[in-house]
Structure 1
């Protein structure tokens, strides 16, 4: 039996206001929560017990995923009353593992969509007798990330923070958010306080002389932390650019059960129309996520945007590269462009927004 820890305790700050009511890993991407896609990938790699490291809105995970039986795995729930960071979260969740000290534990960040071959990384970890293996990916803009240089044998040389100058970039390899730990290494992480796996645990392992390796996989990888990335991930799942095992038919759109789309409307480019949602006549929906129980009234244009659960969009609205959160009622003729965001549970009169929010200074406590 192989066990895993899935870190799902973050606030999802960059995705607000979508994460006011729902933690980021439980937001639906192409009809399934992000966490379900990750669990499906784990199950395909013969991982059968997964501990979810929860904190923010922990109850939503248990309500949505239960004991894991519907996904073919066993799910246990670890809870952090106060957030402990990535390293502290791993240590806290490990209390619910059952494996031995030399056994592998796979750790996933809860906000990444990836095509990595988990079994390949496990095999290399075992073959090289490593204490820890990191899944690495190559990116075009390494300056936006911390980087992880390795030698010719794949041994990790350092963990570097985001470079301040372009000339300080030494590699395009970055931490892609999946690790293989020997269980006994996890047991050395400090308890009862905030610990960063990236800034504290990994550098300390190198200083202590443990064998930490990087395994580069240049397949699909996407951090779902922003609305633009979230839309891309959903579209890529719908069209089959990334496969997690939950979607079996790929097309230009995904229309879920009970959804109604008028024949005169166009839904294209990987868009999703959620359960029991309705799209009235003469609408254009392109590269967008329409969640469950949404009404899109006639003659709307929705492009590269997210319309969250229960929202009602009035006739003739134009929404481009923007977000309308849960249970918003938006008046006819409104225009939202350029990463505008309307926060949840509001009735909004006709408005034009350009890189603005409603309300202007929202305070939802996180």
Structure 2
């Protein structure tokens, strides 16, 4: 969980749920991209609440000064859920409006516009809602003509609206104080429905801004590529936008083709004739001559040897994909596994 405060800023405090916020994405921890958006909206103070491995956050972000922010850390003694985690940091809040984020979402909405909707409608809670092409995979949030949220619906094959919860909220401080303390609470299943039942004003801010749930490896790869290509907004990229982000000490053969928003990590080597599209190559990975890597994650120190094909696959750290192997359609290779040359194929040999 992350709470972001707005001392001396245009926005007030904010909060964020982050299951894997330190996972490298487009060259930096995923959380860095979210914090860059928050900072660009005018926020300078952050309260970051975590339930595990708190030191991984503080080791990287420190007190926030090198990001021109002030960061404070709060650790949960036990997992408290989305609502309980927000309640757990309540004593660190100093203002009446609190912006809340889900940390596994990559989005480009105008945060100041969300806050304006909240204040213009005198809402108790405001939700950022985004329209998606296929809402069946998500819970739906219908609203009336005034933007009042009507209900929260579970996943259904026949959704009544294409609006879904985009993982960004504005809370009144009084609502946060009313969340039960010291036990797990879900804002989606308990807090928000309870507010509607009590007659509270729950507003929806609806737009078509960039939005992607980063909860699966495929979404992580595509989201990273969108950041590299500049489709998803971020001020945290360690380089300019383009077809590839190549980090320090990487060696890419002039006859290799690297494009589609690929991130090439530090010390990576890519051989002649290799084709790498929309992939994440972590530090020290090796892609052999003539190998093809498409929309995949190649772990730190892993090897994809000459002529191998890896598509929509996650290859663990230090694993070896032998020459002329072929992996497709969601295969997961554990760290340190070694596949021999020609060891796995998905199509007939010719």
- TM-score exceeds 0.5: yes
1:314 equivalent in structure 2: 305
1:49 to 36, 45, 51: 45
Aligned to 2:89, the other structure's residue is in SS state helix
Counterpart check, 1:68 vs 2:64:
yes
| Inter-partner Cα distance in structure 2 for 1:81 and 1:317 | 46
Q: Is the 8 A contact 1:288 1:304 kept in 2?
A: yes
2:201 equivalent in structure 1: 211
Q: Is the 8 A contact 1:3 1:48 kept in 2?
A: no
Please report how far the alpha carbon of residue 353 of structure 1 lies from its aligned counterpart in structure 2 after TM superposition: 6.2
Aligned to 1:123, the other structure's residue is in SS state helix
1:292 equivalent in structure 2: 283
1:357 equivalent in structure 2: none
Please report how far the alpha carbon of residue 96 of structure 1 lies from its aligned counterpart in structure 2 after TM superposition: 2.7
Counterpart check, 1:352 vs 2:344:
yes
String of CA shifts for 1:254-305, please: whole Å, max 9, x gaps.
Answer: 1111111011111011111111211122211011111122122222110111
1:198 equivalent in structure 2: 188
Q: Is the 8 A contact 1:340 1:353 kept in 2?
A: no
Aligned to 1:37, the other structure's residue is in SS state helix
| Inter-partner Cα distance in structure 1 for 2:78 and 2:334 | 26
Counterpart check, 1:26 vs 2:22:
yes
Please report how far the alpha carbon of residue 209 of structure 1 lies from its aligned counterpart in structure 2 after TM superposition: 1.7
2:262 equivalent in structure 1: 271
**May I ask how many residue pairs the two structures share in their alignment?**
334
2:144 equivalent in structure 1: 151
Counterpart check, 1:95 vs 2:96:
no
Aligned to 2:143, the other structure's residue is in SS state coil
Aligned to 1:26, the other structure's residue is in SS state coil
| Inter-partner Cα distance in structure 1 for 2:330 and 2:53 | 26
RMSD: 1.6
Please report how far the alpha carbon of residue 140 of structure 1 lies from its aligned counterpart in structure 2 after TM superposition: 1.3
1:335 to 306, 326, 346: 326
Q: Is the 8 A contact 1:275 1:292 kept in 2?
A: yes
Q: Is the 8 A contact 2:311 2:329 kept in 1?
A: yes
1:239 equivalent in structure 2: 229
Q: Quick one: structure 1 residues 297 and 202, their matched pair in 2 at CA, closer, same or farther if it must change by over 3 Å?
A: same
Please report how far the alpha carbon of residue 203 of structure 1 lies from its aligned counterpart in structure 2 after TM superposition: 0.5
The farther-off stretch of 49-58 and 188-197 is 49-58
2:32 to 24, 33, 36: 36
Aligned to 2:161, the other structure's residue is in SS state coil
1:140 to 120, 133, 138: 133
2:120 to 117, 127, 131: 127
Aligned to 1:180, the other structure's residue is in SS state strand
1:84 to 76, 80, 84: 80
Q: Is the 8 A contact 1:76 1:96 kept in 2?
A: no
| Inter-partner Cα distance in structure 2 for 1:353 and 1:193 | 49
Counterpart check, 1:222 vs 2:212:
yes
| Inter-partner Cα distance in structure 2 for 1:346 and 1:95 | 47
| Inter-partner Cα distance in structure 2 for 1:282 and 1:41 | 38
Q: Is the 8 A contact 2:52 2:75 kept in 1?
A: no
| Inter-partner Cα distance in structure 2 for 1:121 and 1:60 | 30
Give the TM-score normalised by the residue count of structure 2. 0.91
Q: Is the 8 A contact 1:5 1:93 kept in 2?
A: no
| Inter-partner Cα distance in structure 2 for 1:327 and 1:211 | 52
Structure 2 unaligned blocks of 5 or more:
1-6
2:16 equivalent in structure 1: 6
Q: Is the 8 A contact 1:326 1:344 kept in 2?
A: yes
1:13 equivalent in structure 2: none
1:17 equivalent in structure 2: none
The farther-off stretch of 221-230 and 69-78 is 69-78
Counterpart check, 1:115 vs 2:108:
yes
